[in-house]
Amino acid sequence: MRSHYNERYRRFSMRIEKAIMIGIAVCMIVLAAGELLIQYDPVRSVLIETERLEGVSGAP
């Protein structure tokens, strides 16, 4: 009985660990993609509201 519980717990914890690792990887990819997207003026004007409110982007 004890080893059956341990085996089930081990499988469950491995699935949870894999899901957490995938979630972290997805978050990192989304963050990197977002940072790359806001480097381009047309995309930045769509994604960031303050760019539209301030006027011309990139002007000092």
And the tokens for 41?
A: 């003026």
Q: Is residue 3 in some structural domain?
A: no
pLDDT, tens digit (0-9, with 9 covering 90-100), for 12-56: 999 999 999 999 999 999 999 989 988 888 888 787 877 667 755
**pTM of structure:** 0.66
Q: How far is CA 46 from the centre of its chain?
A: 20
Q: Is residue 15 in some structural domain?
A: no
Q: Is residue 49 in some structural domain?
A: yes
Q: Is residue 31 in some structural domain?
A: yes
Q: Is residue 4 in some structural domain?
A: no
Question: How many separate domains does the chain show?
Answer: 1
Q: Using the 8-state DSSP alphabet, how is residue 52 labeled?
A: H
Q: Is residue 50 in some structural domain?
A: yes
Q: Is residue 11 in some structural domain?
A: no
Closest by Cα among 27, 51, 53 to 40: 51
Domain of residue 29, residue span: 25-55
Q: Is residue 5 in some structural domain?
A: no
| Per-residue pLDDT at 52 | 67
Distances (CA, A) of 14 to 9, 17, 18, 22, 37: 8, 5, 6, 12, 34
